[in-house]
Amino acid sequence: MKALLVEPSTFLRTVIGSIFARHNIAYDAVVNGESALAALAGGHRDLLCFSFELGDMRGTELLREARQRGLLGLTTALMLTSRRERVVFAEALAVGVSECFLKSDLNSFEAYVEQWEKSVTRRLSGRVLLVEDSITAARFYREVMSGLGLDVFWFKSAEDAITSLAQQDYQIVVTDYVLDGFQTGLSLIRAVRSQPGKKGEIPILALSALGSASRRVDLLRAGANDFVNKPVVAEELAARLGNLLTLRQLWEQLEAQHELLKELALRDHLTSLRNRHYLHGAWPQILARARQEGLVLAVVDVDHFKRVNDEHGHARGDEVLIAIAELLRASCRLPQEAIRYGGEEFLLLLPATPLADALRMADELCAQVAASRPAGMKMTVSIGVSSLQEGDDFDRLFARADVALYECKQSGRNCVRQR
């Protein structure tokens, strides 16, 4: 990656050169337009940066002459100027300048250079499903994609590509419109979009030599995310692939963050057990399963917990809750689950658990809490137990277990009762 800097001012050449150096961009510097044309004729530059006033010509004239001589190709052209007139910027854009910057605002210039360098040198990762009937074109695309760091899997027909898609995971699909076999790229795009789950959301880049606007619209409506006309330019293909994959990665990160936030909202921040919001949201599924395999609900209440907070402080109380929550968690075996219902009250959801086993488990928990001295405190729990009956909803099941818990309190605590 190499730049050519055209700037009469020694001071600005030094400043801009240091910007290039900070971003690992090799560069040559010249002082006027004629020297710039000679340098461009001597070798390709990825970036051309020049001032509007060059002494022997204007920067816009330099760019126009370089393009006429075929010296630039896809070189990115940036112009620096001290003049704020709109006409200067309009003239620069008209001859093909990518961006104009004021010499008084080199921070913006450096921000652009930094982003440009990252986009040019970025390495991609992932598996590409390439569908192209031309061996020559496929070889070219594979060279470009492999150079970006992508693993390419090539098929000539939509039929073979669809079979592979069902068997393998890909991060992007690149397909021509005209393919071997009886299906087109349009058919392939529809087939991809009909896939269940994540496979149906894979980014798709469509290619075609058929320059019909209606064809492009059909491909985009079918679900293609982007389109490239043939013959394909390597830099354009690389840029579009990079953009699609980057957008997909950002979307996946956003989805992961959303799922994490959902998970955090359904967990108690102190004990990390599932909370009341989770239980109420999941109850329809829990109940449907319980109708088939049964369910026992145990309500666990920490005895005299208010006394701990009053006499030892809330921090000590939190330590007690954390320790008891860990005992409850450790006692459960999937699909059993411990839930912090609120305050010092916990629930044990015990699906597919015989009532006798649930009562034995509750007795053992009472003994474990008393023996463990959570947070160094002499603590006990009371546990009310009830099993799901015909016609029960959560409120009815909970109410019976709560009555059993009240009976524990009336009986002196540190015990188990069943209703």
Catalytic residues: 344
Q: CA distances (Å), 400 to each of 344, 397, 419, in order?
A: 19, 5, 6
Under 8 Å between Cβ of 410 and 401: no
What's the CA gap between 116 and 74, in Å, rounded? 14
227: nearest Cα among 194, 251, 204: 204
Q: CA distances (Å), 3 to each of 8, 123, 419, in order?
A: 16, 20, 82
What's the CA gap between 323 and 334, in Å, rounded? 20
What's the CA gap between 43 and 404, in Å, rounded? 88
Q: Return the exposure string of 277-290: e unless at least 16 CB atoms fall within 10 Å of the residue's CB, then b.
A: ebbeeeeeebeeeb
Burial class (CB in 10 A: 0-12, 13-18, 19+), 217: exposed
- Which residue(s) pair with 124 in the sheet? none
Under 8 Å between Cβ of 97 and 63: yes
> Is the alpha carbon torsion for 270, 276, 282, 287 positive or negative?
positive
What's the CA gap between 90 and 82, in Å, rounded? 15
Under 8 Å between Cβ of 12 and 109: no
What's the CA gap between 313 and 303, in Å, rounded? 16
At 3, is the secondary structure helix, strand, or coil? Answer: strand
383: nearest Cα among 359, 349, 399: 359
